[in-house]
Every structure is written in C-alpha cells, then in structure tokens.
Amino acid sequence: MSAVVLLASSVVTWLLRVGFIVIVPARRLPEGLRRVLDHAAVAALAALLATALTRESGPAWLLTPSPVLVAAVAAGLVAWRTGRMGLTVVVAVTVLWAAQLIM
Amino acid sequence: MNSAPVDVSVPRIELAAVRDIVPVAASVVPFALVIGSAMREIGVSGGVGVLGGGAMYSGSAHLAAVALLGAGAELLMILAAVAVINARLLVYGAALEPRFRTQPRWFRWLGPHFLVDQTYALATARDDLDEPDRFRRYWVVAGLVLGAFWIVAMAAGMGLGAAIPASSPLNFTATAVIIALLAPRLRARPQVLVAAVAAAVATTSSSLPNGLGLGVGLAAGIVAGALIEARQR
C-alpha cells in the first residue's frame, strides 16, 4: 500500500510540476496572468516563512517574543545585508541556540 | 545564494550550482531525517521509502502522505492532500516556463522533477541563466545534489527511526534558508508589500487543513502584486 501511495503521490506532484511547462505551456496563458507571476517568488517565500514561524510559535509569532523570532530577525538582517546563504544559516542556528538558553 | 553581481569569471556553471545548492541541501537534512523516521514508524520498507523520497522530491507533501497513510486514510484523500500542498508548484512552473521553452524535449518533461521552493527561488535569483544550455546544466546539477542529500538523509532517518529528536535548533535551518532567499528580494516597496500580504494571510489562514493556508497566502501575495502594478500603470 505504501508503495502505491508514494508512487501515485509522485505522479500527482510531477503533473503539477510539468503542468504549466509542457502540458499547458504558460506562454498560452493571458499576458496579464503571466505578468502577475513576477511576484510569485516573493509571495511564496513570505508565505512559507510565515507558515514555518506559525508552526513554531503560533499565529501571534510576530507579537510574541520568542527565540525563533529573535533568530529569524537576526537571519533576516544578515541575509538582507550580505545576501550570503551559508552565513545566514549559521547565524540563524547559533542565535536560536543562544536565545533558547537565555529566554 | 549570492546577491552580489554574478562573477563572470566562474568558469563553469556547474560550480556555481553546487555553491548555491549545498547550503540549501544541508538545510533540508533534518526534515528528510524526520520523514524517514516517520516512514519507519508506519512500517514502510527501506527500498520503498528511499525510492519514494527520490520520486516525490517534495518534503511537506511526502510527510503529509505518510501521516495520512499511517492514520488509515483512503488513497484519494491522500492524493487530494498532496495536490493541495503542492499546487504552488504549478505557479513555479508557469514562472519558469520561459526557461524550459527552448530546451530539448527530454528536459522539458524530466527537468521539472527538480522543481521545489528552493530550486525555483535559486534559479529566479540568478541573472546568468539565459543561455538554455547554461540553465540546463545549472538545474540538473542543483537538482541532483539536492536529491542526493535528500535521499541519503531520508535513508538515515529510516535507519535511525525514533532516535531522531523531534525538535532541535538544526530544524531551523530550512526556515533560515527561506529567509536567506527572501530577504535580498525585499529592496523595493512593491516586494515588501507583496511579502507582507502573503505572510499575513498565510498566518491568519494557518488553521486550514493540509497546508492550505500556505497556498492562500501565496495567492493573496500574487493578487496584491497585481493590484500594486495596476495602480502604478
């Protein structure tokens, strides 16, 4: 059963991946709809981040001081200033570890 | 990822791909360990688990499928949950379609297999992938390296089972990567507004089942972006 579930889930996922690449190529979509997609990356990343922070500290994550929020802000500043991913990850985990000890 | 001007002296795009993807791949290791451990808990065999990890190449949906399977859900219900969680891949595909348009047929069908949040964000952050051949080599190397980390970590999770701690500061690495991909894009007002709307809506709709809140937040952010552009024109 687990093999069937994973195989079928993989097919569903792959269909979503190729959907607007080969099945209905996005160039056939209306121009306005395509231009909207320019914002998809920022919207997706922000939604992913909010979902992760909500999972960690609940829906009031922005208003509740927590080690995770401190680490996220520190990581955000480093990423915004330097654009360096490795450094951002190291700072995030280190700050989270330290904040968990203190808070 | 590096938001500094792309160094044209980098001799091979493959090296750039490895440099971009290794921090991302390392960041998903804790998640893959958890999924592997969850699969062992419900008695998925090692071969099925590892092959399934490579075939799905998608963490949240994989974990949801395993959890629902463990809870005795029907196949159709599991597939519906997978489709809802991964619906955003449609949006990513649409956004990357121009990159795939000029590719050979095999790559147009198989290349999108490596489409996940992080590879989409990495590929759209680079401005040196206009050449089809360059994009293809970047995409394949990044996808294979990420997949290798993913599968090895999942296999380790299956081996270790319940020994995997549910929570540790290392679990934050995946979130940190999202932050690293997002923050450098927030340099102009429209992007900041789009991000704020997407985050606010994703947070307020986070109680929806099957990660639906994520999709609602994404859609709200995209709509906000469209409204901002319409006002600017």
Tell me if B203 and A46 make a contact (CB, 8 A cut-off): no
Is 60 exceeded by the pLDDT of residue A45? yes
For chain B, the distance separating the N- and C-terminal CA atoms, rounded to the nearest angstrom, is 32
Contacts B147 to A, Cβ<8 Å: none
pLDDT band (50, 70, 90) for residue B3 = low
Which of A49, A56, A100 is facing B179, going by the closest CB pair?
Answer: A49
Domain residue ranges of chain A, discontinuous segments joined by +: 1-38, 41-103
B-interface mutation test, from A1, A4, A6, A37, most B Cβ less than 10 A away: A6
- Residue contacts between A and B (CB atoms, under 8 Å): 299
Tens digits of residue pLDDT in B51-104: 999 999 999 899 999 999 999 999 999 999 999 889 999 999 999 999 999 999
pLDDT of residue B6: 54
Contacts B39 to A, Cβ<8 Å: 2
Tens digits of residue pLDDT in B167-207: 778 889 989 999 999 999 999 999 999 999 999 999 999 88
For chain A, the distance separating the N- and C-terminal CA atoms, rounded to the nearest angstrom, is 45
Arithmetic mean of pLDDT, B42-57: 94
pTM for the structure as a whole:
0.86
- Rounded to 5 degrees, φ, ψ at B16 are -60, -40
Which of A25, A47, A76 is facing B218, going by the closest CB pair?
Answer: A47
**Residues in CB range of B214: below 8 A, 6 or more apart:** A47, A48, A51, B85, B88, B202
Count CB-CB contacts under 10 A for residue B224: 22
Contacts A16 to B, Cβ<8 Å: 83, 86-87, 89-90, 93
Helix (H, G, I), strand (E, B) or coil at B166: coil
Cα–Cα dist B28/B25, whole Å: 6
Whether A79 has its CB under 8 Å from any CB of chain B: the answer is yes
